[in-house]
Structure 1
């Protein structure tokens, strides 16, 4: 079922100046033609055969500025063709069914407003487009045209190019293309809610422009690491490995219910670290219904499932630590008396040659001047969370490892209520054991705690 609603989208058209592939990670060019590819989700639409949704970035290079301005009559430029590769029904063939290429037509570009505003608010807090960009780092960084630009953004006119802002970046990031496809599909089952730690499975076709059949409907498994905003969950962050060409592909939960579709990753300019985002299915379906696309789906109530109960228990023991210079880190409550384990480089940043800190969240900190602390270390504050309420408290430095271990211990100066320390598992792990990492990630404390998964490989 999952594979049959996952498709690959391929567009091919004239490109004599080799400009259609700008800022696309992988493409194929030959004899003045360029081929681009992405993944997509096949949707059952009432009154229609089916529709496929994908990221708009694959079709925008082959749309004229006038078509982008008139959303009701979008057509590809002359000579461009659009195709969808989907999984054929099972056959008696011992090698399985052969994927089918079907012609497709573009129906509409959809601006998912609520998701766009969520991404914009995330970027505005975290330094905007000066610190973040969109797409994989393997895209050519020397090209002058930013990946988030559409044809209309950079069309030649008397007014010149539209300047890049967090608003245009967020809008391009969440813009979706709806395609018409003559295919059969069944009603979708949508996941009712996703929480941190939930297992997700993405299906997509990376490198499709180069080799469409070899990587068709590849599967990548990971976890939901965060939701933004935490209340409405308009954007999901995922600890999942998505390769170029998988954008637009469907994401499912452990029970096979649709969670959403993959977007291109946000990439931090300074480090190149990528944050994979997911557009939730309910947000997408709601936007499509407002435009007259009656998506046929039901919602599976998975709120009572406790597959990640141990993760939820551990979240209450993870705290936020800040210093007077704006540095922040995560810590773990070890006991009910307020002993906290954290990293020594929070107190000694020179260990990693980090001499200055950009306090992005200074207005969320409490002024700690005139507060004494042990030794030469900066005053430390601890943010505790209990039943969706946050409170700040002071801590003193108890121990800082000066050996190879990046470890420090802090002690709360007062214990405000009964703390919930992290449960300790004394069993000896083995290589290959699955573990979870919980903390405040690249987007900072305001997005809440992130959850990442990995496996132990060896022990020293």
Structure 2
């Protein structure tokens, strides 16, 4: 089904929610990405889902109200909570009593019915604010794993454009601006608000199905109003499409979705549908990382919202998020699912972790060298090759590292402070762990390393490489362990995009396998790549085969990370590694990859390739020297250089030294 068909159905159910009220000190707008403020009145907006009678009847909060035939809207509680009486903002497990708005506050909704704004706005009443406990528990567990697995800054709930000020933790907008660590862990919640719209006739709305079989990689369609209150005529019911990146489950039922979809502030509360126009859930504010601009979009499942409304006293956070990975790989298409099963998680001590790929049935794992030797790659890109063209963008290796020390079993080199290497295999839950040892770490320009598993379980899945690089615009998936590290039980992160650029090279390092032909040496995609995905795979979306090894994304000089601009090593470059894994070649083929190559190094340092310095040559006949030793030496050079002599050798041949030649003492 086309996205336009889903849009026609979604437009009937998606609404713009406007919340406004007195705010003489400007406190209500703080913590929100955008607002309007005039004459002491602050106006906020977000999106909402207008429920047809087929869904509204299942909400116990609504069925107890008079005027059941009127409209019912569900949205995210953040903006609404800002205008409730202060005592009702205190953390509670669940709230049954109808919360009260502060005097002078009001809530309105705008329907996309093709009418003018003056006739389309409807006044709404706040019925209840409910914590979707199943989703909140999954979000807290996810937040703990994120904050415990990264050195790039803690994670919080809220939009990147929203100011995050710790001094506001006791103000009314605690949903947006509190972090997930320490004492503020309890504020990591997925609260929703139910709004009753008296006089709004929804009896003519068609029934809507609820999607029951959400799978990783499934199509997502979101509709909402980003920055809606700033200009409803421009932003009402905008569309975004993407895919499910991961699923957090309780008792085999989804409790939270991680979405590979681009949403903007104001879209929270908007409905999310599958390709069959069935309702999946509503958009939540994303998880965002301090010190970068990384956002991970969250979707609250509709079933979780209904479960919290049916039993407001039930709260089993301890049973949530135990095995979210069970069966997830099988939910992907068979080819992509098998590729995801070959993606492993690698830990080095307690600090470093990244992804890897199983490449043979003997337990050989391919990953990135910077996981074990981080400073070598950073030194090359920042010291040797940094120039004006690279001053704004720097490749950022996407593995977590605290300078571990490893022994390279291939070369005998020892890296300071040996730490235990463990590999978590992505098989059926529970996950299986195996110790591993280093087989090879590249000392050349290619960011690759090989590990050997010490125990090889049955049913191990191998990655299947495709040595033909796809063309620009080809659809791809990125699969790796993303920001979800060893402290979580989440299976590999899944994102989608297209190939944006293929960089080729005639590097001397690759002559033995390519001859005079240029090989693809770098692949760029728009698929989101986050810290922890180093060593993961770029997969062809059509056949599920690996086309490249993920190495890095980009960090701007200002500190912002750009996950949708990333780099990977094409399989065409990695063919010697796969030949070694299949025992088609010995270790000598790996030794050739250790050679220094200025051209490849410059490509991966994001700088122009070095240009040879042109040197003028003079014919030998122009030399005015006597026939002696000097002339015989000049003749020798002429024969070696095709009858020409470099002009910088002229003084030596004429028996003269330049005045500015430095001397060696």
Interval containing the TM-score (normalised by the shorter chain): 0.7 to 0.9
Seen in structure 2, the aligned counterparts of structure 1 residues 380 and 290 have a Cα distance that, compared at 3 Å, is closer
User: What is the match of residue 289 of structure 2?
Assistant: 268
Aligned length: 422
User: What is the match of residue 336 of structure 1?
Assistant: 361
Q: CA deviation at 1:343?
A: 1.2
CA distance in 2, matches of 1:443, 1:257: 29
**How do 1:184-223 and structure 2 match up within 5 A?**
184=202, 185-223=205-243
Q: CA deviation at 1:335?
A: 2.5
Q: Note the residue ranges of structure 1 that are not aligned, 5 or more in a row.
A: 89-95, 154-162, 293-302, 360-367
Q: CA deviation at 1:448?
A: 2.2
Q: CA deviation at 1:280?
A: 0.7
C-alpha offsets along residues 80-135 of structure 1, whole Å, 9 cap, x if unaligned? 221111122xxxxxxx666722221111111112222222222334438x822221
1:124 paired to 2:124: no
Match of 2:475 among 409, 434, 444: 434
Instruction: Give the match's secondary structure for 2:501.
Output: coil
Q: Contact (CA 8 Å) 1:198, 1:308: kept in 2 or not? A: no
1:3 paired to 2:8: no
Q: CA deviation at 1:290?
A: 3.5
Q: CA deviation at 1:165?
A: 2.9
Match of 2:193 among 170, 177, 192: 177
1:401 paired to 2:442: yes
User: What is the match of residue 455 of structure 1?
Assistant: 498
Q: Contact (CA 8 Å) 1:250, 1:261: kept in 2 or not? A: yes
Seen in structure 2, the aligned counterparts of structure 1 residues 213 and 356 have a Cα distance that, compared at 3 Å, is closer
Q: CA deviation at 1:39?
A: 0.6
Q: Contact (CA 8 Å) 1:63, 1:76: kept in 2 or not? A: yes
Q: CA deviation at 1:436?
A: 0.6
Q: CA deviation at 1:207?
A: 0.4
1:165 paired to 2:183: yes
C-alpha offsets along residues 127-185 of structure 1, whole Å, 9 cap, x if unaligned? 38x82222112223457214x954699xxxxxxxxx983443223xx111100122413
TM-score by length of 1: 0.82
User: What is the match of residue 93 of structure 1?
Assistant: none
Seen in structure 2, the aligned counterparts of structure 1 residues 186 and 356 have a Cα distance that, compared at 3 Å, is closer
Q: Contact (CA 8 Å) 1:265, 1:274: kept in 2 or not? A: yes
Q: Contact (CA 8 Å) 2:407, 2:413: kept in 1 or not? A: no
Q: CA deviation at 1:308?
A: 3.4
Q: Contact (CA 8 Å) 2:371, 2:400: kept in 1 or not? A: no
TM-score by length of 2: 0.58
Instruction: Give the match's secondary structure for 1:190.
Output: coil
Q: Contact (CA 8 Å) 2:423, 2:434: kept in 1 or not? A: yes
User: What is the match of residue 312 of structure 1?
Assistant: 337
**How do 1:40-439 and structure 2 match up within 5 A?**
40-44=48-52, 45-46=56-57, 47-68=68-89, 71-88=96-113, 100-127=120-147, 131-141=154-164, 144-146=167-169, 150=172, 165-171=183-189, 174-181=190-197, 182-184=200-202, 185-229=205-249, 231-290=252-311, 308-350=333-375, 351-352=377-378, 357=401, 375-377=413-415, 378=418, 379-413=420-454, 415-439=456-480
Seen in structure 2, the aligned counterparts of structure 1 residues 371 and 390 have a Cα distance that, compared at 3 Å, is farther
Relative to total residues, which structure has the larger helix share, 1 or 2?
A: 2
Seen in structure 2, the aligned counterparts of structure 1 residues 74 and 389 have a Cα distance that, compared at 3 Å, is closer
Seen in structure 2, the aligned counterparts of structure 1 residues 68 and 398 have a Cα distance that, compared at 3 Å, is closer
Seen in structure 2, the aligned counterparts of structure 1 residues 416 and 67 have a Cα distance that, compared at 3 Å, is closer
CA distance in 1, matches of 2:429, 2:298: 24
C-alpha offsets along residues 200-242 of structure 1, whole Å, 9 cap, x if unaligned? 1111100012112201111111111112247442111111111
Q: Note the residue ranges of structure 2 that are not aligned, 5 or more in a row.
A: 1-8, 58-67, 176-180, 314-327, 380-396, 504-665
Q: Contact (CA 8 Å) 1:68, 1:74: kept in 2 or not? A: no
Instruction: Give the match's secondary structure for 2:500.
Output: coil
C-alpha offsets along residues 257-291 of structure 1, whole Å, 9 cap, x if unaligned? 11111111111224342111111111112222336
Instruction: Give the match's secondary structure for 1:236.
Output: strand
Instruction: Give the match's secondary structure for 1:458.
Output: strand
CA distance in 1, matches of 2:174, 2:267: 25
CA distance in 2, matches of 1:456, 1:66: 52
CA distance in 2, matches of 1:48, 1:250: 21
Seen in structure 2, the aligned counterparts of structure 1 residues 257 and 310 have a Cα distance that, compared at 3 Å, is farther
CA distance in 1, matches of 2:454, 2:307: 49
Q: Contact (CA 8 Å) 2:109, 2:121: kept in 1 or not? A: yes
CA distance in 2, matches of 1:105, 1:423: 56
CA distance in 2, matches of 1:431, 1:452: 18
CA distance in 1, matches of 2:137, 2:295: 20
Instruction: Give the match's secondary structure for 1:62.
Output: coil
User: What is the match of residue 39 of structure 2?
Assistant: 31
Q: Contact (CA 8 Å) 1:133, 1:268: kept in 2 or not? A: yes
Q: Contact (CA 8 Å) 1:234, 1:280: kept in 2 or not? A: yes
CA distance in 2, matches of 1:356, 1:164: 22
Q: For the aligned residues, what is the CA RMSD? A: 3.3
C-alpha offsets along residues 45-65 of structure 1, whole Å, 9 cap, x if unaligned? 233322111111111121112
